[in-house]
Amino acid sequence: MNTDFKQKWAKCLELIKSNIGQDRFDIWFSDTHPEAFSEKDDTIDLRVPSQYYVQVYEKDFINLIRAALRRVFGRDIKVAYLHSVIGNDKSSDVRIQGPEHAEILKNKLVKQYENEPIQNRKANFDSQLVSNLTFENYCIGESNRLPVTIAEFIANNPGQAEFNPFFLYGNVGVGKTHLAQAIGVRIKERNPKAKVLYVPIKQFQTLYANATIKKEIPAFINWFQQMDVLLFDDLQELAHKSGTAEALFPIFNHLQQNRKNLIFTCDRPPMELDGIADRLIDRFKWGVTERLPNPDYELRKKILQFKARKNGLEMSEEVTDVIASTVNGSVREMEQIVMRMLTRSIVKNLPITVDLAREAMVDVVKQPERKVINFDMIVETTAEHFNLNADAIFSRSRLRDIADARQVIMYLTHKHTSLSSPAIGHKLNRKHATVLHGINSIKDRLSYSKELYELINSIESELI
């Protein structure tokens, strides 16, 4: 057994923190600890607070974790996760091997179902809530005000029948999980004894499968029926899982009839769900169904500024506008862009500029197919913006407007085509040195001239 794996993991954490920033690190890694290391299997066991952390690690951080482990250990290291389902009781540990296997190797929660009478089961289980996913950390704008208002009402008035169940749907990355978790966190803050449980549907399916093998479905159902609040995430994963859906049916009925809150998140409304029994879909409609839309432009700007401030990043209105105008509304996408800007700013020792923002958006934002831009297109479009005849561009005239238009053409041709500086000079009947001077002149002026920046953007928007 390697005796210094804990020190090595501490070095890994330093690398991870330098990449994602202090605030994000505090949320996702401050409570993660190394518990064991097998030199035989090259596997490190990480104890995490809950199953939800495993999902986030596998989705958002696994490449960074692997890179840090490789850097510190000097070779590829596999990851396994440990978490206790019942409070801090290690006898209820679940161990999940990394993405290569993605299967539960040990699950004592089912054993608890089997061996302990239901009436004796304690409620000090892991609620699987993330304490930072609160209403206070949720950005609100006109586009999402209604669903957030409903969520806060439920959180402040648990047990009311008006919005039970609450069915929240929307595209991937718009903040459904955060909003659902915020309900649970608020209820637990106000009543620590409340039995609140956040359950991704995939986890519910796994627990159901284990209970099926042990022939303990009634005990499984009864345990969930004891909850005060059940937060089911990614309901679309229930499609064509008839057995799991059948188990959910009596849980739903019992909790709804006893005014216990049910919250569902999904990527589509109930009527568009396939492979789920009609009687269950009908029950999803009993309360209120609300769409969480993609953030509008103003809310996107607000989210970007909020994410930047939390990571100690100063972001100008100009940079915010460029990102907000480009992204499609995914909060997850915006957070990733902010973190990529932060990393590049630190590593390259550069200020946060529009160019840095555009670099950070590469491979994050799906870019529309761009048409091929050529020299003639640039000349024609630039001449129109300067109200010039295109022939004047090629003349020997040194009039200010013509000279400016010529330099803009040099800059845009250099940026958007494969033409070399001598080739650009040949087309414009100018020397190579003149072209280089023109390109650098535009680059320098862009750093302080808002008028020139807007002109270049306007021309590029027509070209692209």
Q: Mind spelling out the 3-state secondary structure of 125-138?
A: CCCCCCCCCCCCCC
Q: pLDDT tens-digit profile of 413-428? A: 998 888 888 899 999 9
Which pLDDT score, from 0 to 100, does residue 58 have? 81
| Predicted structure pTM score | 0.55
Q: Enumerate the β-bridge partners of residue 263.
A: 166, 231
Per-chain mean pLDDT for the chain: 82
With contact defined as beta carbons under 8 Å apart, do 304 and 323 qualify?
A: yes
Which pLDDT score, from 0 to 100, does residue 9 have? 92
Find the range with the poorest average confidence among 81-85, 93-97, 232-236.
93-97
pLDDT surpassing 60 at residue 210? yes
Report the pLDDT averaged over residues 352-356. 84
DSSP 235-287: GGGGTT-HHHHHHHHHHHHHHHHTT-EEEEEESS-GGG--SS-HHHHHHHTSS
Distance CA 350, CA 151 (A): 41
Residue with tokens 């690398």: 15
Report the pLDDT averaged over residues 34-63. 83
Which pLDDT score, from 0 to 100, does residue 329 have? 67
Report the pLDDT averaged over residues 346-353. 78
Distance CA 425, CA 419 (A): 10
Report the pLDDT averaged over residues 394-418. 90
Which position has the higher pLDDT, 109 or 205? 205
> Under DSSP, is residue 21 helix (H, G, I), strand (E, B) or coil?
coil
Query: Which among 68, 60, 1 has a CA at the least distance from the CA of 35?
Result: 1
Q: How many CA atoms lie within 13 A of 363 on its CB side?
A: 3
From residue 413, alpha-carbon distances to 151, 379, 410, 433 in Å are: 52, 9, 5, 15
pLDDT surpassing 50 at residue 119? no
pLDDT surpassing 60 at residue 404? yes
Query: Which among 376, 382, 340, 332 has a CA at the least distance from the CA of 357?
Result: 340
Distance CA 22, CA 49 (A): 19
Q: pLDDT tens-digit profile of 288-328? A: 899 888 888 888 888 888 888 877 777 888 888 888 888 87
Distance CA 157, CA 153 (A): 6
Report the pLDDT averaged over residues 264-281. 86
Q: Mind spelling out the 3-state secondary structure of 416-440?
A: HCCCCHHHHHHHHCCCHHHHHHHHH
The alpha carbons of the chain give a radius of gyration, in whole angstroms, of: 28
With contact defined as beta carbons under 8 Å apart, do 281 and 271 qualify?
A: yes
Find the range with the poorest average confidence among 85-99, 123-137, 284-298, 383-397.
85-99
Which pLDDT score, from 0 to 100, does residue 19 have? 82
Element housing 200 (H / E): strand 196-200
Between the CA atoms of 125, 126, 129 and 131, what dihedral angle is there, to the nearest 10 degrees?
100
Q: pLDDT tens-digit profile of 187-204? A: 999 988 888 999 999 888
DSSP 84-103: ESSTT-GGGEEEEE-TTT-S
